[in-house]
Every structure is written in structure tokens, then in C-alpha cells.
């Protein structure tokens, strides 16, 4: 991943501007009305990257778009973790899994700052 985007992404995750959700890049009231889970309105960590990169978030999607991957140089749409992100006794091999497994944005941001070159 490009360092510039990694630092922007980590800062956005730490900013408190984005509420965290699971399962979708972005969940809003329309998703709740459509029956797409009982999770809170907000963003997955990958949705935050998609948003700050200026890429459109398709309703119901849970992986980065090719356009976002091209802009930020992320290698895989689920942001593979090498080495694995370790949190709460678990090992996560993808950032989307870490997010959906309950790892908070601050912990994910710390991982991104340390391991951005491998994302």
C-alpha cells in the first residue's frame, strides 16, 4: 500500500469521524430498512478507505473496489494482513475479518501504520 494513503487511512480511522459497523463497506438507514442486518449505521475499516479515496461505495458491498485498490495500491480487496493482526487472542489474516471480528478502528489504524507496505 502507498504510504501516503496508509497514513491518511490510519488518521481517518483514529479521528472519531467514522462510526464502525460490520459486514458492509458502509451501512446506512436504507440498509437497515432493506433488512441488511441489525448492525449499527457506520463504516467497515475498508469503507473508510474507500470514502477518503473518493471512490463510490456500492450499496451492499463488503470489499474494496478495483478503482480504490488502484488509487491506494492495496493489493487485495479484503486487505490481506501479513503478518497477521493479533487482537484479543485471535489472529486475523484480512482487515475486513478483523473489523467484523470486533477489532476497533484504533487497533486497525495502529496495524496499518506498522505494516502498510504489506497491505
**pLDDT tens-digit map of 67-111:** 998 999 888 877 888 888 988 888 999 899 999 999 999 999 999
Lowest mean pLDDT among 18-22, 42-46, 71-75, 104-108: 71-75
More confident residue, 58 or 71: 71
* Distance, CA of 51 to CA of 6 (rounded, Å): 13
φ/ψ region of 65 (left if φ > 0, alpha if ψ in -120 to 50, else beta) reads: beta
**Chain mean pLDDT for the chain:** 89
The whole model's pTM is what?
A: 0.89
Average pLDDT over every residue of 9-22 = 96
What is the number of helices (H) and of strands (E) in the chain? 6, 4
pLDDT at 33: 75
pLDDT at 115: 94
36 pLDDT above the threshold of 80: no
Amino acid at each position: 500500500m502507498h504510504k501516503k494513503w496508509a497514513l491518511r487511512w490510519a488518521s481517518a480511522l483514529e479521528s472519531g469521524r467514522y462510526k464502525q459497523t460490520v459486514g458492509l463497506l458502509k451501512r446506512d438507514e436504507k440498509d437497515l430498512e432493506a433488512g441488511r442486518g441489525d448492525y449499527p449505521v457506520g463504516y467497515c475499516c475498508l469503507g473508510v478507505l474507500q470514502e477518503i479515496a473518493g471512490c463510490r461505495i456500492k450499496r451492499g458491498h463488503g470489499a474494496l473496489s478495483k478503482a480504490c485498490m488502484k488509487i491506494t495500491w492495496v493489493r487485495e480487496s479484503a486487505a490481506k494482513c501479513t503478518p497477521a493482526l493479533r487482537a484479543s487472542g485471535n489472529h486475523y489474516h484480512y482487515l475486513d475479518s478483523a473489523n467484523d471480528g470486533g477489532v476497533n478502528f484504533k487497533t486497525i489504524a495502529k496495524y496499518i501504520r506498522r505494516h502498510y507496505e504489506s497491505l
